[in-house]
Every structure is written in structure tokens, then in C-alpha cells.
A and B are shown apart, each in its own frame.
Chain A
Amino acid sequence: MEHSSAVAAGQTFPGYSVPDIPWWKKVAVRLRGAPMLPLLILATLVFTAVFADFLAPHNPEVGNLRYRYRPPVWQDRGSWEYILGTDHMGRDVLSRLIYGSRISLVVGVTAVIVAGIIGTTFGILSGFMGRWVDQVIMRLTDAWLALPAVSFAILLAALVQPSEWNIIIILGVVYWTRYARVIRGEVLSLKERDFVRLAIVAGCSRAKIMWTHILPNIANSAIVIATLQLGVSIIAEATLSFLGVGVAPPKPAWGLMLAEGKSGLMAGYWWLSVFPGVCIMLIVLSANLLGDWFRVWSDPQLRQL
């Protein structure tokens, strides 16, 4: 490979200097064409989740019973102290939304990672090992796909103590099938490629081939699926919390806020049901749009279509 290193990095030529490109410009070039609004919304989510302690004006779990059901600031009886109003226990809705972003983000992202690890492992094993391993894993995947995912998650969640970690594990256990299916398909075609055959000839162990030769080649697909699944797991977490088998009260999960707000709905306390739902919608919408873009962006063949 002599010729390719003829122009090494940092080498200068007389009369010509390579301009220094600042790092943010490099990032900007890579992000060209990315959906900016979704990125902005997700960045805001991460920001509020990280700095919730500084941003939230009130304690999200302790309310003042004298200020129950205060409407948002622009309505009668609203005040700047509780910008988005208060709930049935006099807790500040805005603060609960801010802390809720932390739960949604942590549960959503971690659940996607757990599902990704389970699904990718199964997918690689199934595709690469073939034979009975493939049969067992694919039959398991079929059985899993036959379970109505929502009912199954509710069933699992009802069986264990409600907590964030349990939900993460449940969502991971329920939603791994999509990774396994897609990645198995890719591994089947990768397995026939020359570099894998050469690795076998060179005497690599199967574990080593799977880890160093197969995994990096399917990482892209796994990340694309993960982005698209983020919305699914955020909605699933909200659903479980809404049904009372997810995050335990008094924690401020958005699904839980919707469940608690439901009783006030008939009395016209609309802000308790509207704001958490809008938050869920914005996040899931952004994750889906970003996932769609990322899927096209990471695949040059698709990009040209």
C-alpha cells in the first residue's frame, strides 16, 4: 500500500497550504441535510434531562395543596409562579415535565440499547452459526413476534415491582426481535464475502470473526434500527406508566402524568392532559424523523434514489 500513503496527513506542499477546518465546520458538513428541528428538539430534551435540577422551578414530587388545579399563566387564576399550571396535588406541571424528560430519555435510550444488545447478539449468532442455532433462535423470534407486544409488556410489568430498571429490562426483552431479524439477514450475506472466508482460512476462531469482522459491518443497521425504535420504546414506557404498571408514583413520568390528569379531564383541567402528551409527541416525532433521515444517510445506495 505504498502509493496510498504518498500524501500523508499534515504534509505541506510549497505554495499550497491546506486550510485548517475548524471542528464545528466538519460536524456541520456531516450534518448537511439533517432535519434540524428534530435535532433541536432532541438536544433540548437532553439538555433539560441533564440540567433538570437547575431548570425546574419547583420540587416535582411535592406540591402545595393550597394551589391545586391552577391553570397555566395565560388563563384566569394563572400565575407566573406556576407557568403551566398545577395538578391535583398542587405540584408544578412544568417542573414535572422537566424531570419527566429525564425518565423518558433514560428509559427510552437504555431500553433501546438493551434490546439492541439482545437482538444483535441473537441475529449474529443465528446468521453466522446457522444450522440448529439458527433454527432455535428463529423459532424463538417467531414465537416472540406472535405475542401481542403491548399485552406482553403489560403482563411482564404487572408481574414485577414497578421501577425504571424493570421497565428497561421488560422493553428490552419485548422489542429485540426486529434487530434479530434484520441483522440475521445481513450476516447471511456477509458470511459469503471474501474477507470472512479469508478469516476462516487464516484460522480465526468463530467468536473472533463474529466480534471483529461481522459486528463492525452490521453496526450501522443496528444503530438505524435503534433510532427508529427509540420512539417505540418511549411510547411503550408512557403506555405502561399510564396503565399504572410502569414508573411508580410520585415520580414524574409523562405517562403517569397523563393517567393522573385523566380524572381532571371531565372537569376541564385540560393542561394536565395536553402538555405531557405534546412532549411525548414531539420527542417521538423527532426520533422518527431523525431515524428516517439517518437510514437514508447511512446507506449510499438509498441516498441516490
Chain B
Amino acid sequence: MQGYIIRRILYACISLFLLSITIFCLVRITGDPAVLMAEPGAKEEDLQAIRREFGLDKPLVIQYVTFVKSVARGDFGKSIYYRTPAFDLYLQRLPASLLLASVAMTISLILGIPIGILSAVRVNTWFDNFGKIFAILGLSLPSFWVGLMLILTLSVYLNWLPSSGAESWKSIIMPAFSLGWVFAAAHMRLARSAMLEVLGSEYIKLARIKGLSERLVLLKHAFKNAVIPVLTLAGINLVLMVNVAVVVESVFAWPGIGRLLYEGISFRDFPVVQTTVLMGGLMIVFVNLIVDILYAYIDPRIRYGT
């Protein structure tokens, strides 16, 4: 078990190293940032001064080492556009993203679990077919188009909800729905297959033989077991949601980290871009590590298998 955990942690570190070096190199092979930072028509001395200030005049390897050192201290560099620490900007935007992701996750679970469970209970009926259509639509509709259609109906025609910004609780409904929509389909699929598996198991048969009412069998015995894998996936997806909301956040002008990334790219503000993508990768690697370890803890076959 210990060996397994150590190996997993080592793999996670390798992932992070590859991640950081990929992002670091990619961001630096495009154009000269000093030119973008300086006033138009700045003199060569001024450019040199900026390069020295941000450490851009040193070789790439040294730049990378300083970069890793400062990241380890929690210093992600200063935003070129806002002139404030990039990590502070990230932390400022994070609560909005977390809020959006939690609401989106709630919506996706409220939609996904009941539809998935009911599809499994009423397998091969019209409801199951409806569930299949729901699942495939969820995978086929781009989230930004769902957002646009929501704006068109709920803001433009019905005038119920504001189309952008984050002023009141009403603002979060449409972005959360567009973001949750895609995940609802994934959760529905998993809930359905988990419930089907549970319903075919021995203990459900036993519960039925015992003469329990169908209601009790489904709600007390089957439902709880079928929901476990869905909630596990939801935990991973919550982290993913924070990091894939770029498009939805830019459609609804939601002030989260997705929008920060988008702004960073538009302004060529690469400390910000670097921070956002790196933190996203960090979160995902970390969550995957925890899931791996938890699974190994629960299921001995995994820790002895590898």
C-alpha cells in the first residue's frame, strides 16, 4: 500500500513537471513580451530594462528554474496587464468560478441522477428512450450554444433573467445551466448503468424474495448503491468544471477564472495565462491522485495489480 502511494505521488510529480515545462515553453515561443509591455515606440534601452525586470534576458533554462522556484513559494509572477501578482488575480476570481461550478454541479445531479435511475428502472420503455435522447443531446450541444439559446429565450423574449454579469442570484442560473447540461448527460449515463448493474445483483433479488415492496427495494437498497459511482465522478467533474468554464464564462461575462484566462490570452498577459492553466492542471493531477489512492484503499485488487 505504501509503495503504491509513493509510486502514485511520483507519477503525479512527473505529470506536473511535464505540464509546467510544456506550458512554460509554449508561452515563451511566441513573440517578445517586452515589446507588448512597453509603450509603443519605446527605445531599445527601455525594452532592455523591462526584460531585466521580468528576467526575460536570461536563457530559457535559467528562466525555467527561477520560475519553478518562485512557483514553489507561491509566487506566479506579476500580471503584465494589471501589474499585480498573477496569483492574487487568480484567487480573486476563484470564488466566482467555484460558485458557478457548484451550482452547475447541483443542476447536473438534479437532472442526471433521477433520469438515469428511472431509465434503468423502466429499461427499454419510452422513458428509457427519452433518457437516451437526453444523453446524446447533452454530448452533442455545444455549451456556448445552449447559453446563447437560453439568452435568446429567457432574456430577449421573456425578459426574466439578465443576459450577463454577476449582479444578483438570477445571473447565475443561465451560465450554471449551460455548464451543467453537458455534465448532466454524463451523470445520467453513469447513473443508468450503475443502477442496471445493482438491479441485477443478488442482494436485490434477495430483497425481492423477502417480499419487500418494490418501493423499498428501489429506494432503500438499490438507489444508495447506484448513486455512489455517480457521486465519485461528480467529485472529479467539479474540479473539471472549474477549469472548462472558459467558453460559458465568456458568453455570460461571468467573472471567474475562465474569463481571466480568456482576458490573459487577449492581452498576451502570460503570467496570468500560465497561472490559470498550471493551477488547473495542478487541481486535476491532485484530484486524480486522491481518487487513485482512495480506490486502492477500497479495492485491494488495484494496489496489488500494479
Contacts and interface: CB of A to CB of B under 8 A. Distances in A.
Interface residues of A toward B: which range?
35 or more
B141 interface: yes
A199 B59 CA distance: 49
Interface string A255-274: 00010011001101010011
B144 A284 contact: no
Nearest to B15: A143
A65 interface: no
Nearest to B261: A151
Nearest to A240: B247
Contacts of A9: none
Interface residues of B, number: 49
- Chain A: interface secondary structure? helix
A289 B144 contact: no
Contact of A151 (B140, B156, B246, B288): B246
Interface in B125-148: 136-137, 139-142, 144-145, 148
Given A154-B261, A155-B277, A243-B262, A268 B142 contact: no
Given A242-B247, A273-B149, A274-B149, 20 more contacts: A139-B18, A143-B16, A146-B281, A146-B284, A148-B280, A149-B244, A150-B244, A150-B247, A151-B243, A151-B244, A151-B261, A154-B261, A154-B265, A155-B265, A231-B140, A239-B247, A268-B156, A274-B152, A281-B141, A281-B142
Given A159-B30, A274-B152, A242 B144 contact: yes
26 contacts: A146-B16, A146-B285, A147-B22, A147-B280, A148-B284, A150-B247, A151-B258, A151-B276, A154-B262, A155-B265, A159-B26, A231-B139, A239-B144, A242-B247, A243-B250, A261-B148, A265-B148, A265-B152, A266-B163, A268-B156, A273-B145, A274-B152, A277-B142, A280-B142, A288-B136, A288-B139
Contact of A258 (B15, B18, B140, B148): B148
A148 B261 CA distance: 12
B14 interface: yes
Contacts of B156: 265-266, 268, 270
Interface of A: 139-140, 142-143, 145-152, 154-156, 158-160, 231, 235, 238-239, 242-243, 245, 258, 261-262, 265-266, 268, 270, 273-274, 277, 280-281, 284-285, 288-289, 292
Contacts, number: 131
> 8 tightest A-B contacts by CB?
A143-B18, A148-B243, A277-B145, A158-B265, A285-B140, A284-B140, A143-B15, A159-B30
Nearest to B146: A277
Nearest to A158: B265
Interface of B: 11, 14-19, 22-23, 26-27, 29-30, 136-137, 139-142, 144-145, 148-149, 151-152, 155-157, 163, 240, 243-244, 246-247, 250-251, 258, 261-262, 265-266, 273, 276-277, 280-281, 284-285, 288
Contacts of A266: 151, 155-156, 163
Given A154-B246, A158-B265, A288-B140, A147 B145 contact: no
